[in-house]
């Protein structure tokens, strides 16, 4: 295996920060609900869940398949989900993002 060489930057390089993209995929229709946030905390995740909830028809079952990121399991998120019995949470096992359909959508988007 060849050694890894660190990428070099000039003195004029400016890091513009990162953006967190939250996305939900309706596997029945292919519709994607997405929103970019400057941070990836429980506050932003809760805002995103509320966006999904607002777009779903009343009484619809929602199956939320997500990774085990710590912001997905805070007491505030758990309490919000507990008040919505029609939301069903499924956590993917660690290191198997290919099982998560929205991750596959991200991969396809990256290839294009």
Residue 23, domain member (yes or no) = no
For the chain, how many structural domains are there in total? Answer: 1
Integer CA distances (angstroms), 20 to 2, 36, 40, 45, 46, in order: 32, 6, 6, 10, 14
Cβ 87 vs Cβ 81: under 8 Å: yes
Report the pLDDT value the prediction gives residue 11, as an integer from 0 to 100: 72
- The string of pLDDT tens digits covering residues 62-107 is 999 888 888 889 999 999 999 999 999 988 887 776 566 777 777 7
Domain assignment present for 74: yes
Query: Would you say residue 1 lies in a domain?
Result: no
pLDDT of residue 50: 97
Indicate the SS3 state at residue 43.
helix
State the residue range of the domain holding 80: 39-111
Q: Flag whether 32 is in a domain.
A: no
Assigned domain for 3 exists: no
């Amino acid at each position: 295996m060849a050694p890894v060489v660190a990428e070099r930057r000039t003195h004029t390089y400016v890091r513009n920060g990162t953006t967190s993209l939250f996305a939900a995929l309706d596997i029945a229709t292919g519709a994607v609900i997405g929103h970019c946030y400057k941070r990836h905390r429980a506050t932003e995740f809760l805002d995103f869940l509320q966006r999904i909830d607002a777009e779903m028809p009343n009484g619809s079952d929602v199956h939320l398949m997500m990774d085990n990121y710590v912001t997905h399991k805070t007491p505030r998120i758990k309490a919000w989900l507990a008040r919505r019995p029609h939301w069903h949470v499924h956590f993917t096992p660690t290191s198997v993002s290919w099982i998560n359909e929205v991750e596959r959508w991200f991969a396809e988007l990256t290839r294009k």
